[in-house]
């Protein structure tokens, strides 16, 4: 009888714990809103396949967390801060969305994270690049996960200057991301003994880069750097090739180049370009296994953003599970307290400013002779340790950072 009582007591206690955990998950549902460019300039680097990566994470998690179902809604941000803000406001105020994921254009992200702070929602930024997102635009309501402009500059720009590229012309996308990348690159170039002799800014997006490439050629700069992304970058590289920019002795530096961009260009056009990335599908066995699954689902190899969306979604769901809550600050703290070790990062960590710090990689596009198949595109030149790659907290303008 005593044994039966103990068993019954244990069962009741377990049921109460599960009930309590579910009670702390609002509406008995964890709801994730995926916001990204689904049809424009940044479609390939995140887009519909980023949504697939998120759905893969939910499926691998089992579709539920502590008994509460996991739901997903999605929207095309159209790279427009105003329409994106309207979408997210509706999600937060009327549709009980707990987490906003994806987020690509930095102008969209900065607008959305302000809304998240106003409504005490949580966001995980995987596609945006501007380092200001966890610097002057930091909030206690978002995490910046995959990469930003600071390590892009520390990786690519530093390497090019050290190889003799002293005088720079920077062609910049005229919005928050481009401005941040231009600023970070200028700092790194000057710190390493180089000089930016001219900059030019193009509208976002742009299809005709002829006049800009002519400006770059006439500048006499050693290096023509592209502070843009997506189809803007591939269009600029294609135009540079047509105008014979590199044949005239100038170096072309793509400061943010994605796997899908290189695949679209082909190794004949992109060979030898150095770039900085936060992840590469063929970098180790664990990455390859996940990339094989992703390719089975989508028909393409994943970018670092796709991998980051999967990883960050798993980290978020594990934090909800561990705390039994979808409360923003409870979950964010749990994510900050938990090291990240998975197919995306080893010993990654989320700092108080919301920056997820992990190793970055300087890569070089393979030659046609080196490439074994259409997606065998990079060789890793060196690893940039996370603490070296990202902005040190001692230089941070984030209000969340302790100044002790």
Provide the residue range defining the domain that includes 240: 150-277
Per the structure block, which two tokens stand in for 21? 């955990």
Give the end of a domain, one of 253, 277, 301. 277
Domain identity same for 177 and 124: no
Distances in Å between the alpha carbon of 339 and those of 57, 196, 318, 395? 18, 39, 12, 23
Task: Name the band, by pLDDT with cuts 50, 70 and 90, for residue 309.
Answer: very high
- Asked if 44 and 264 count as a contact pair (C-beta separation under 8 A), the reply is yes
pLDDT tens for residues 343-362?
A: 999 999 999 999 999 999 99
pTM above 0.85, yes or no: yes
Mean pLDDT of the chain: 93
How do strand 195-202 and strand 167-173 relate by DSSP bridges? parallel
Domain identity same for 273 and 300: no
Q: Which of 279, 303, 124, 154 is nearest to 229 (CA)?
A: 303
Whether residue 395 is contained in a domain is answered as no
How many percent of the chain have pLDDT more than 90?
A: 87
Whether residue 288 is contained in a domain is answered as yes
Give the end of a domain, one of 277, 304, 329. 277
Whether residue 10 is contained in a domain is answered as no
Q: How many domains does the chain have?
A: 2
Whether residue 396 is contained in a domain is answered as no
Domain identity same for 100 and 244: no
CATH code, 183? 3.40.50.2300
Domain identity same for 119 and 49: yes
* Phi, psi angle pair for 161, to nearest 5°: -60, -45
- Collapsed DSSP state (helix, strand, coil) of residue 364: strand
* DSSP code of residue 146: S
Whether residue 44 is contained in a domain is answered as yes
Based on its alpha-carbon atoms, the radius of gyration of the chain, rounded to whole angstroms, reads 22
Whether residue 135 is contained in a domain is answered as yes
Q: Looking at residue 22, what is its pLDDT?
A: 43
Whether residue 20 is contained in a domain is answered as no
Give the end of a domain, one of 277, 305, 323. 277
pLDDT tens for residues 222-235?
A: 999 999 999 999 99
Per DSSP, helices labelled H in 24-165 are 47-61, 81-94, 106-119, 149-152, 158-162
Domain identity same for 287 and 271: no
Cis geometry, peptide bond prior to residue 337 (ω within 30 degrees of 0) = no
């Amino acid at each position: 009888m005593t044994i039966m009582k103990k068993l019954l007591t244990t069962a009741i206690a377990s049921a109460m714990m599960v009930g309590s955990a579910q009670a702390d998950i609002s509406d008995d549902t964890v709801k994730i809103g995926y916001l990204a460019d689904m049809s424009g300039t940044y479609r390939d680097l995140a887009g519909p396949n980023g949504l697939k990566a998120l759905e893969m994470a939910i499926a691998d998690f089992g579709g539920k967390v502590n008994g509460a179902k996991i739901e997903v809604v999605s929207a095309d941000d159209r790279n427009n801060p105003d329409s994106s803000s309207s979408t997210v406001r509706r999600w937060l105020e009327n549709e009980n969305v707990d987490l906003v994921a994806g987020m690509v254009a930095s102008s969209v992200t900065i607008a959305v994270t302000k809304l998240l702070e106003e409504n005490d929602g949580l966001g995980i930024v995987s596609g945006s690049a501007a380092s200001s997102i966890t610097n002057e635009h930091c909030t206690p309501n978002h995490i910046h996960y995959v990469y930003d402009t600071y390590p892009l500059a520390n990786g690519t720009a530093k390497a090019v200057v050290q190889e003799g590229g002293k005088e720079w012309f920077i062609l910049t996308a005229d919005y928050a991301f481009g401005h941040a990348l231009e600023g970070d690159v200028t700092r790194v170039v000057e710190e390493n003994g180089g000089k930016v002799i001219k900059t030019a800014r193009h509208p976002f997006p742009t299809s005709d880069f002829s006049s800009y490439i002519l400006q770059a050629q006439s500048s006499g700069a050693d290096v023509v750097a592209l502070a843009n992304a997506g189809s803007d970058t591939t269009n600029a590289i294609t135009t540079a090739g047509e105008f014979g920019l590199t044949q005239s002795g100038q170096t072309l530096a793509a400061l943010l180049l994605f796997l899908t961009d290189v695949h679209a260009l082909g190794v004949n056009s992109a060979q030898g370009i150095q770039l900085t990335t936060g992840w590469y599908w063929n970098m180790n066995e664990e990455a390859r296994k996940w990339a094989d699954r992703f390719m089975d689902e989508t028909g393409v190899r994943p970018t670092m953003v796709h991998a980051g969306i999967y990883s960050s979604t798993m980290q978020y769901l594990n934090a909800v599970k561990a705390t039994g809550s979808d409360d923003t600050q409870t979950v964010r703290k749990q994510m900050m307290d938990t090291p990240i070790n998975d197919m995306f990062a080893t010993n990654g960590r989320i700092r108080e400013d919301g920056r997820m710090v992990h190793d970055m990689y300087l890569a070089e596009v393979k030659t046609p002779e080196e490439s074994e198949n259409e997606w065998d595109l990079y060789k890793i030149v060196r690893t940039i340790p996370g603490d070296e790659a990202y902005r040190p907290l001692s230089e941070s303008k984030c209000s969340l950072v302790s100044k002790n």
